[in-house]
C-alpha cells in the first residue's frame, strides 16, 4: 500500500485481489527481480522478472495490472467489482465499476490523517517573492468551506460548476469542493474572452460560476469579474456567481453575485471546516474540460472519478520520478488539462507539495522561473517548449544567476520540443545532469501516455522524442492512406492510435457521444485515434510529427483553424486559416481572406478589425500574426479549399506544392504566392 508518510493503513489489498493477480500471471522461471521495490503497486506480481517485463504485463494483462494499482493507490469506500468494461468500437469506456470513492478524500483527507502539516500548495503569486504556503489541513478546510458554501446555495450532486479563475489556492479548493459534494467542474482558462466563456457555460448548462474580482498577471490587472458579467448576459442557466477577491479593488455586484466574504489571503471563509464527502461511483463525472477539434465548436471532454485520478497519480509518480517530500513545479495554468492533472489531481493524490504559478516566464524579468526554483526548492519542473524557446533567447545569465541544484527532472509538454530548446533546457537549466522528459498526451488522454522514462529511471533518452509508452498504453501506427492498415515495422510513420483503453481516457463529449465516436473511434475502427501523426524509430521509440487534422498549436494552446475562420467569417467573403512554423510560439496563425464584393475598406483597418474580433470571440493568442488578402483561394473543382497548397506557400516550399491537377484554376496559386511575398 502506498502511503504519503510511510505510515500503515487500513486500506490493504484484499486476498481476493491477490488471488486474481496470481491467476492471471504467468510466473516464469526467470531470475526474480524485486519489482515491488521500484513499484510498490506491483507487489502482487512477484514472478515478474524486471521492469521491462512489468511494462509488458501492464499491456498484455492490463486488467490485473490496473486492478492491482487501483486497489493499492486509491482509497475506496466500496471496492470495485469489475476492472473494465470497454468497447472501443462503440466508444464505451468504463473502469472500476461497483467501486465508490471520493476524489477530494483521496487528494486531501488521507494525507491530513497522516501528515496534516505537510505543505500541499505553494502559491507563487504574480508579485515575485510573495509566495504563500497552504498545508494539507488548510487546503482541506478551505475545500470544505467552499463545499459547504456551494451546498448551502443549492449546488447538488451532478450539477456542473464553471470556474473562471486564475491559478490560485481558492481555484484548487473550488475544484476539490465540487469533487467533494459530487458536482462536476468546468474550469475555463481565464484568458478566454467573454464569448468563449459564455459558449462553455451554455454547453455545460452551468447554473453556478465561481470567479474573482480581478486577476493579476505579469503585473497587469485583468478584469475577470467584468468578463463574467458580460458572459452571463447570454447564459440564462446561470443563477449565481460567487466572487472572491484577488485584489483590493471592489467590483460592481449584481443581484446574482455572491461575495465569498472573508476570503482574504484565500484562507478564511465563514463556513464550517467539515463537509461530508459525497460517495461517488467510479464512473460519475469529475469534470468537463473544453478543447478544440478540427471542426465545429469546442468540445466538452468528460473525465470521470476513479480512472482519471488513478492515471494522473500514477503518471505523476513514475514519469517524473517523483518521490515523497519533493516539491513539484508544473507551471501550467489550471485552465488546461496539464493544470488539472499535474498541478492539482496527480500531485495531490500523491501527497506532494505542488506549485501554483500565477505569473509569466518573463515577469518581472526572464529569470522568474529559476528564481522560483531556487526560492521554492523545486525538484521537478514541468513547462512548455514555447516558454523555453523564449527564455533561451534572453541568454544563459538569467538561468545561471540562480541555484538550481534541487532540480532532479525537467519536463516538457504540449508541443514538440525542437533540438535547440531541448539541448538548452538540458545543458543550461538542468546543468546537464537532469533528465528531460518530453511528455506526449492530450486533453482526451487524461494523463501522459508517451514519455522517455515511464518505467526505468535510468533508460536512455533521445532529445525531442517522447519515446516510450507508459504502463498499460499500447500505441500503434496506422497507414493514413490505406485506412486501417496497421504498420508493424519500425522506422515508419503513421496515424498515432491506441490499441487498448486505459483508465485515464476521456469517456465522452458532453451531450454529444456521437461526435465522440465519430472523432476518435470511427477513423480507424477498433482503435482510439489521437489526431496526431508519429514516427516510430528503428529502436521502436515514438516521435510525434504533428497534427493530422486542422488543429494547430499556438504557444502550446490548441485551437481549431475552423474556430478562427468562423469568427472572421461575417466580415469577409471567405477565409482559410492555417498554422505556420513560428520560432517561439511553435505555430503562428496565418489567415487568408477574400473580401466581400463591393466593399471599400483599407486592408490595414480590416486587419485590425479581424484581429480584434478573434481576441474578443476566442482569446488573444488565437489572433492571426499575418492576414493576407486575396482575390480568391485555390480550390478543387468540387469547391474545396486546398489547404495543403496554402501551407506550402506559407512555408515557402514551392517545390513541395505537389499535384495541382485537381485545382479549379491554377492561376489562383500564382496570385497567392505573389500576395505572400508582398506581405513578407
Nearer to ligand PRX (CB atom), residue 215 or residue 556: 556
Contact 169, 194 (CB under 8 A): no
CB of 417 to ligand PRX, least distance (A): 7
Single out the segment in contact with ligand PRX by CB under 6 A; choices: 119-127, 407-415, 468-476, 482-490: 407-415
The C-alpha atoms of residue 72 and residue 43 are separated, in whole angstroms, by: 9
Contact 412, 438 (CB under 8 A): yes
194 lines the binding site for ligand PRX (CB under 6 A)? no
- Residue whose cell numbers read 501492464: 58
**By CB under 6 A, how many residues form the interface with ligand PRX?**
21
Handedness of CA 156, 160, 161, 165 (dihedral sign): positive
- Sites for ligand PRX among residues 267-296 (CB under 6 A): 291
Region of residue 82 (phi > 0: left; psi between -120 and 50: alpha; otherwise: beta): beta
**Helix (DSSP H) and strand (DSSP E) numbers for the chain:** 22, 33
337 lines the binding site for ligand PRX (CB under 6 A)? yes
CB of 528 to ligand PRX, least distance (A): 12
The C-alpha atoms of residue 470 and residue 461 are separated, in whole angstroms, by: 15
Contact 449, 498 (CB under 8 A): yes
The grid cell for 36 is 515491488
440 lines the binding site for ligand PRX (CB under 6 A)? yes
- Sites for ligand PRX among residues 510-539 (CB under 6 A): 530-532
Single out the segment in contact with ligand PRX by CB under 6 A; choices: 92-100, 121-129, 413-421, 521-529: 413-421
Contacts of 509 (CB under 8 A, 6+ apart): 299, 300, 301, 302, 515, 516, 519
Give me the residues paired with residue 145 across strands.
none
What is the DSSP secondary structure assignment for residue 343, as one 8-state letter?
I
Nearer to ligand PRX (CB atom), residue 204 or residue 289: 289
Binding flags for ligand PRX, 557-596, as an x/- string (CB under 6 A): -x--------------------------------------
CB of 227 to ligand PRX, least distance (A): 21
CB of 614 to ligand PRX, least distance (A): 18
Single out the segment in contact with ligand PRX by CB under 6 A; choices: 163-171, 183-191, 400-408, 414-422: 414-422
318 lines the binding site for ligand PRX (CB under 6 A)? no
Single out the segment in contact with ligand PRX by CB under 6 A; choices: 2-10, 344-352, 410-418, 661-669: 410-418
In 3D space, the residue among 299, 303, 367, 339 whose CA is nearest the CA of residue 191 turns out to be: 339
Element (H, E) at 339: helix 337-339
Nearer to ligand PRX (CB atom), residue 138 or residue 550: 550
Which of 553, 561, 575, 611 lies at the binding interface for ligand PRX (CB under 6 A)? 553
442 lines the binding site for ligand PRX (CB under 6 A)? yes
Element (H, E) at 178: helix 169-181
494 lines the binding site for ligand PRX (CB under 6 A)? no
Nearer to ligand PRX (CB atom), residue 439 or residue 611: 439
Which of 61, 186, 206, 338 lies at the binding interface for ligand PRX (CB under 6 A)? 338
DSSP secondary structure of 491-521: SEEEEEEESS--TTS--EETT-HHHHIIIII
544 lines the binding site for ligand PRX (CB under 6 A)? yes
Q: Would you give the end-to-end CA distance of the chain in angstroms?
A: 61
- Other Cβ atoms closer than 10 A to 205: 15
Nearer to ligand PRX (CB atom), residue 172 or residue 467: 467
Residues that bind ligand PRX (CB under 6 A): 291, 337-338, 413-416, 438-443, 466, 530-532, 544, 547, 553, 558
Amino acid at each position: 500500500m502506498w502511503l504519503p508518510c510511510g505510515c500503515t493503513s487500513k486500506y490493504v489489498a484484499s486476498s481476493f485481489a491477490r488471488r486474481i493477480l496470481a491467476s492471471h500471471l504467468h510466473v516464469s522461471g526467470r531470475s526474480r527481480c524485486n519489482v515491488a521495490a521500484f513499484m510498490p503497486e506491483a507487489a502482487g506480481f512477484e514472478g515478474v522478472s524486471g521492469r521491462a517485463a512489468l511494462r509488458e504485463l501492464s499491456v498484455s494483462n492490463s486488467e490485473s495490472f490496473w486492478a492491482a494499482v487501483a486497489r493499492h493507490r486509491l482509497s475506496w469506500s466500496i471496492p470495485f467489482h469489475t476492472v473494465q468494461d470497454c468497447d472501443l468500437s462503440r466508444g464505451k469506456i468504463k473502469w472500476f465499476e461497483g467501486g465508490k470513492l471520493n476524489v477530494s478524500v483521496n487528494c486531501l483527507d488521507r494525507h491530513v490523517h497522516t501528515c496534516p502539516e505537510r505543505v500541499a500548495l505553494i502559491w507563487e503569486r504574480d508579485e515575485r517573492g510573495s509566495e504563500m504556503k497552504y498545508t494539507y489541513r488548510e487546503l482541506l478546510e478551505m475545500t470544505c468551506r467552499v463545499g459547504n458554501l456551494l451546498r448551502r446555495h443549492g449546488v447538488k450532486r451532478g450539477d456542473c460548476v464553471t470556474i473562471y479563475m486564475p491559478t490560485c489556492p481558492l481555484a484548487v479548493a473550488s475544484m476539490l469542493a465540487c469533487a467533494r459534494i459530487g458536482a462536476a467542474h468546468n474550469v475555463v482558462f481565464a484568458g478566454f474572452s467573454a464569448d468563449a466563456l459564455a459558449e462553455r457555460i451554455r454547453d455545460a448548462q452551468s447554473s453556478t460560476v465561481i470567479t474573482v474580482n480581478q486577476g493579476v498577471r505579469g503585473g497587469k490587472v485583468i478584469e475577470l469579474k467584468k468578463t463574467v458579467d458580460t458572459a452571463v448576459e447570454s447564459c440564462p442557466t446561470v443563477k449565481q456567481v460567487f466572487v472572491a477577491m484577488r485584489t483590493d479593488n471592489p467590483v460592481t455586484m449584481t443581484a446574482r453575485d455572491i461575495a465569498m466574504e472573508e476570503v482574504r489571503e484565500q484562507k478564511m471563509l465563514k463556513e464550517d471546516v467539515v463537509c461530508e464527502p459525497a460517495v461517488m461511483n467510479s464512473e460519475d463525472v469529475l469534470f468537463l474540460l473544453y478543447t478544440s477539434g478540427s471542426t465545429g465548436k469546442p468540445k466538452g471532454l468528460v473525465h470521470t472519478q476513479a480512472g482519471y485520478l488513478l492515471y494522473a497519480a500514477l503518471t505523476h509518480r513514475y514519469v517524473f520520478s517523483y518521490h515523497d517530500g519533493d516539491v513539484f513545479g508544473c507551471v501550467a495554468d489550471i485552465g488546461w488539462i496539464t493544470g488539472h492533472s499535474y498541478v492539482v489531481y496527480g500531485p495531490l493524490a500523491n501527497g506532494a507539495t505542488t506549485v501554483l504559478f500565477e505569473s509569466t516566464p518573463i515577469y518581472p524579468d526572464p529569470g522568474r522561473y529559476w528564481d522560483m526554483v531556487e526560492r521554492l526548492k523545486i525538484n521537478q519542473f514541468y513547462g512548455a517548449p514555447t516558454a523555453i524557446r523564449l527564455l533561451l533567447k534572453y541568454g544563459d545569465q538569467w538561468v545561471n544567476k540562480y541555484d538550481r541544484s534541487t532540480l532532479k527532472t525537467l519536463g516538457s509538454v504540449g508541443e514538440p520540443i525542437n533540438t535547440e530548446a531541448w539541448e538548452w533546457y538540458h545543458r543550461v537549466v538542468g546543468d546537464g545532469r537532469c533528465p528531460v522528459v518530453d511528455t506526449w498526451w492530450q486533453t482526451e488522454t487524461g494523463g501522459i501516455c508517451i514519455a522517455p522514462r515511464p518505467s526505468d529511471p535510468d533508460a536512455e533518452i533521445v532529445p525531442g522524442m517522447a519515446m516510450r509508452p507508459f504502463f498499460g498504453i499500447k500505441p500503434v501506427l496506422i497507414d493514413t492512406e490505406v485506412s486501417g492498415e496497421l504498420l508493424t515495422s519500425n522506422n515508419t510513420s503513421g496515424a498515432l492510435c491506441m490499441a487498448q483503453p486505459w483508465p485515464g481516457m476521456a469517456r465522452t463529449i458532453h451531450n454529444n457521444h456521437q461526435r465522440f465516436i465519430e472523432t476518435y473511434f470511427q477513423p480507424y475502427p477498433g482503435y482510439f485515434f489521437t489526431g496526431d501523426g508519429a514516427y516510430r524509430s528503428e529502436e521502436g521509440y515514438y516521435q510525434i510529427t504533428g497534427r493530422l487534422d486542422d488543429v494547430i498549436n499556438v504557444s502550446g494552446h490548441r485551437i481549431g483553424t475552423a474556430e478562427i475562420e468562423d469568427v472572421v467569417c461575417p466580415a469577409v467573403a471567405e477565409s482559410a486559416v492555417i498554422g505556420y512554423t513560428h520560432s517561439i510560439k511553435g505555430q503562428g496563425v496565418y489567415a487568408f481572406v477574400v473580401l466581400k464584393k463591393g466593399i471599400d475598406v483599407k486592408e490595414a483597418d480590416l486587419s485590425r478589425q479581424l484581429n480584434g474580433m478573434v481576441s474578443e470571440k476566442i482569446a488573444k493568442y488565437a489572433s492571426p500574426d499575418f492576414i493576407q488578402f486575396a482575390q480568391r483561394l485555390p480550390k478543387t473543382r468540387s469547391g474545396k479549399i486546398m489547404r495543403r497548397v496554402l501551407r506550402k506557400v506559407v512555408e515557402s516550399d514551392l517545390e513541395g506544392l505537389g499535384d495541382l491537377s485537381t485545382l479549379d484554376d491554377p492561376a489562383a496559386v500564382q496570385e497567392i504566392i505573389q500576395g505572400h511575398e508582398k506581405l513578407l
